[in-house]
Each structure stands twice: as C-alpha cells, then as structure tokens.
Structure 1
Amino acid sequence: MAKKHATMKLKNSVYEAELYRLQAELVKVQEWTKATGARMVIIFEGRDAAGKGGTIKRLTEYLSSRTARVTALPAPTERERSQWYYQRYIAHLPAAGEIVIFDRSWYNRAGVERVMGFCTPQEYARFMRQTPMFEEMLIEDGILLRKYWFSVSDSEQLKRFRSRLKDPLRQWKLSSMDLESISRWEDYSRAKDEMLVHTDIPASPWFIVESDIKKNARINMISHLLSTIPYTDVPEEKIELPDRPAPSGGYDRPPREMSTYVPDHAAVLMGDREKDL
C-alpha cells in the first residue's frame, strides 16, 4: 500500500492559537446562521478511528446546542427499515437558523451496509442512483451541504485501535464492527472508491481530510469549512451588566443545615495533597 505524503505535526502552541481563532469564526457563523435563517448540513464520514469525533467536538465546542446539533443515529428499527431509506435522516434536517452535523449519515449504505451485506444489491444500486438527486433537492431548497471524508492509513488506524483497547475511558469506542474493518480494509476501500465515483458531483462534492495527524486534520477541516460559507459579521447587541441592588433587608437565607450539600471531595483531595508535600 502506498504511503501518504509525510506532513509535519503542528506545534501545540500553534495548534491551540489557530484552533481558538477558527472557533471564534465558527461563533460568527452561528450568529450569521441565526440572523439570516440559513440552514446548514455538515456530513462527517470516514473509516473507524479516523478522527471524526474529535473534530466534531472542536467544531461544536463553543456553539449553542440550540443552533448546532450533532446527529448520530443508531441502527434502524424494524419500522425504519420498511421506510424510504432517507426518511429517518430527513427528520433531522435543519430548520431556519440551524446547523446539523451528521456523525455518519445516509452514506452508511455505501459503506458498512454494502461491505457487511446489510443491504441488498438492489437497495445499494438504488442508493447510488438516488443520492445525487436527493442531495441536489436539498441544495436547490437552500440547504448548505458540506461532505467530508476522513482518510486514515491502515497502520495509523490499527495504532488507534490498540490505544483504545488499553484505555478504560475509550474502550467503549471499540465495537465488533470496528474490529471487522481491520480484516475488511480492502473491501471498505473499494466501497469508498465506488461511492466517490457516484456521489462526488459538482453540486455536492466530497472533501477529503487527511487525518493521520489528528490536530492537523481538525485545523484543515474547520478552516476549509469556513472558507466555503458566505458568512458575514452580525452586529452585536451591546450588553451591560446592571448594578446589583443593595440588600433590602427583607430576605434572610435559610440556615445551611436545612439543605443537603454534596460532600466536599475536593477538600479531601487537597488534604491528601498537603500530606504528600
């Protein structure tokens, strides 16, 4: 397998400064979205452990959950399997002033469903034929649609899987499907290539994010997203904190003993710290 072009990892100081700047711009995008009634859909796809979740976390870190929400749908129910394939995704599309981030999307059919045999050849062929038309309908209706594919090398993916296996806080991220993707690497590669042939169209292109270096991938993806959105600064309402009124003398706080407080675990830790010193 051909190696990817080597890239220097950003210094932490550079990464943190640029991430802060980009996140400030994302807040401007949020305010522009609310002010103009824009509707935005951002699709995150890619191999398991490709860094999608970490990028989504940084993308939404300072955004209001009322404006920007992440949608990660579970496996379809029996009822949903009997519906038009796109139906359950349509229910999560944005209204005016909203941003929806799909952490995996209708492209499940082109990836895991195709490789694992969860859909029939007829359903897969129908998906490939209908998806460009479906997305053109969304765009024609005014939705800003952006699609990102996170690309990770097989060696880096395996490294991240091993890291998760040893980390009790991240073991839950490893599933049987993740492990299956190791032995089916080439099958997923073929599925991705075929997906791009059918759905990487001028009206709705795919943008590939090289993600072997997570921090670089986050900066690259967010920077590119901002460059594709025609947002402008929205005048801010001037806010001034009022002066706190002087006590009126008509209120007495109930005794502390009447309330149940959580134990001061922090004080215990500080005491243990002082003992260690």
Structure 2
Amino acid sequence: MAKKSQASNHENDYDVNLKQLQIELVKLQRQIISSGSRLLIIFEGRDTAGKDGTIKSIVEHLSPRESRVVALSKPSDREEGEWYFQRYIAELPSSGEIVIFNRSWYNRAGVEKVMGFCTDAQYKQFMDSVNEFESLIIGSGIKLIKYYLDINKEEQAERLKSRETDPLKQWKISPIDQQAQIKWKDYSLARNAMLQKTSSKLAPWTVINANNKKLTHLNLIRDLLSRLDYSGKDKTLLTVDSEVVMPCPPLGKKAPKLAP
C-alpha cells in the first residue's frame, strides 16, 4: 500500500507541476499575441525520444488559432526540385504566433544523412548554410529555440518494443524506426556533428536527457519559459534540473556528454 501511495503522490505531483507550467505557457502566449511576436521552437532527437508527448504537453491548453505544430511528411517530387529550405519557409510563424516543428530542416543532418536519403554534397551544403539561414530567420524578428531530445540505447529498445505491442502506438511504427537500433552509432556520430557545427551563438542547441518522460516534459517547459519574457512570470516555478537540461556551447566547443 505504501508503494502504491508513493506512486500516486508522484503522479499527483507531476499533474500539479505540469498544470502550473501550462498556466505559465498561457501567459506567454497572451504576451506573444498582444505584442505580435513570433516564436519558433524546433524539436529534434532520437527515434522514440518523446517529441510527440512533450509537444502535446506544451500545446495542450494553448489557443489553436495562434499556435501550430508542423510535422512535414516526405517531400513531394516537386519539393525535391526546390531549394531545400523552401517548404519550411511557408511554415514560419506570423505575427502573434507560436510554431513548433516536430522535426525540421535538420532531417538532412540526421535521418537523411544516416539512411542515405541525401548525397554527401547535399549534406555538406546544408551544414555549411544552415547557420546563415537561421541567422536570417532571427534577423527577421523570429525567436528561434532548438531542442534535441536524447535517450540511451536501452531505453530506445524498450520504447520500440512497446510500439510493437501497444495497439494505440501502432501508427508510430515505421521502417526508419526499425533501423534506429541497428544504426545507433551512425545516428550518434550524425548527432554529434550536428550539435558541434550548428549550435551557433544566435541559435544554440539545448540537449534534453529524455529517458524519463515526465521529467522531460517539466524541465523542457521550465527551460523554455525561463528563456522568454512575458508578464506575470512566476520564476519560482522555472528551476531546471541540470541532469535533464544540458545547454550546448557555441560552435566548435565540446558538447555535453551524451549517450554514445
């Protein structure tokens, strides 16, 4: 009974903490709408790292008219012939809007690189130009925040297995996910190169240790809120766990210790 009670208290603590943070997110959105600001949040990470659930915890109580989640599918034949960044530009936030990219142009630095969906020349061109592209976005007045959700290999294996057995998660299974464990080391190398070369001073990466889903949700939201100005901010709610939230240093410097 004691163990059950402790588990119940932990669940209640999470629910209470999340609700408090979601109230702060509503305050933030109100500020963005009234000021005409534009906020773009990029989510990247390992397969099964919990991007969908984390994004849901952010947008759950936001106004859907002023917030969008963008998860683009594979490019069409027409889009394949366009400038690589072109289809993403149409999805950038307008005045008073929050946009979250559930995967982004960084597909080229991750899955496309590892799975051979782009050429070496295309990958190099992307890596050489993405920082300049993001500086143009920021220069236009858009606030850009980038998160990479990282998990260890054992946790990923458990979550992949859960997808196979849980009928509510069947839609998440894809051939690419099934390569995640086989190509684990390749993904690690691609991740490290991406973080090292694209964590710019203007748009640094923040790595989230996402092995615990609830801690991921709470700490990522705290970090997000702590980095933005809005009226009525309750700073007492925004202390992050340094074991979960790991800011990446600027270009070329050593990144946080991540799952190998």
Task: State the TM-score, normalizing by the size of structure 1.
Answer: 0.80
Residue correspondence of structure 1 range 93-242 to structure 2 within 5 A: 93-233=92-232
Coordinate RMSD, CA, aligned: 1.1
- Partner SS for 1:74: coil
- Partner SS for 1:11: helix
Instruction: Give distance in 2, aligned partners of 1:53 and 1:95.
Output: 23
Instruction: Give distance in 1, aligned partners of 2:128 and 2:64.
Output: 34
In 2, are the aligned partners of 1:32 and 1:233 still within 8 Å (CA)?
A: no
**Deviations 1:49-72 (Å, cap 9, x if unpaired)?**
001110001100001111111000
Residue correspondence of structure 1 range 67-106 to structure 2 within 5 A: 67-106=66-105
TM superposition shift of 1:94: 0.7
What amino acid is the match of 2:172? K
TM superposition shift of 1:15: 1.0
What amino acid is the match of 1:221? L
Residue equivalent to 1:267: none
In 2, are the aligned partners of 1:39 and 1:99 still within 8 Å (CA)?
A: yes
Residue equivalent to 1:44: 43
TM superposition shift of 1:154: 0.5
Structure 1 residue runs of 4 or more that deviate by more than 2 Å after TM superposition: none
Residue equivalent to 1:238: none
Unmatched 5+ residue regions in structure 1?
1-9, 235-277
TM superposition shift of 1:230: 1.2
What amino acid is the match of 2:148? W
TM superposition shift of 1:113: 0.4
- Partner SS for 2:13: helix
Task: State the TM-score, normalizing by the size of structure 2.
Answer: 0.85
- Partner SS for 2:206: strand
TM superposition shift of 1:99: 0.5
Instruction: Give distance in 1, aligned partners of 2:230 and 2:118.
Output: 40
**Deviations 1:6-41 (Å, cap 9, x if unpaired)?**
xxxx92122111100000000011110100000000
What amino acid is the match of 2:144? L
Instruction: Give distance in 1, aligned partners of 2:211 and 2:143.
Output: 28
Instruction: Give distance in 1, aligned partners of 2:30 and 2:87.
Output: 28
- Aligned identity (percent) is 48
What amino acid is the match of 1:85? Y
Instruction: Give distance in 2, aligned partners of 1:201 and 1:11.
Output: 38
Instruction: Give distance in 2, aligned partners of 1:231 and 1:81.
Output: 40
Instruction: Give distance in 1, aligned partners of 2:195 and 2:93.
Output: 25
What amino acid is the match of 1:181? A
Instruction: Give distance in 1, aligned partners of 2:148 and 2:186.
Output: 17
Residue equivalent to 2:58: 59
- Partner SS for 1:220: helix
- Partner SS for 1:156: helix
- Partner SS for 2:49: coil
What amino acid is the match of 1:101? I
- Partner SS for 1:169: helix
What amino acid is the match of 1:29? L
Instruction: Give distance in 2, aligned partners of 1:178 and 1:28.
Output: 36
Unmatched 5+ residue regions in structure 2?
1-8, 234-260
TM superposition shift of 1:233: 4.1
What amino acid is the match of 1:140? G
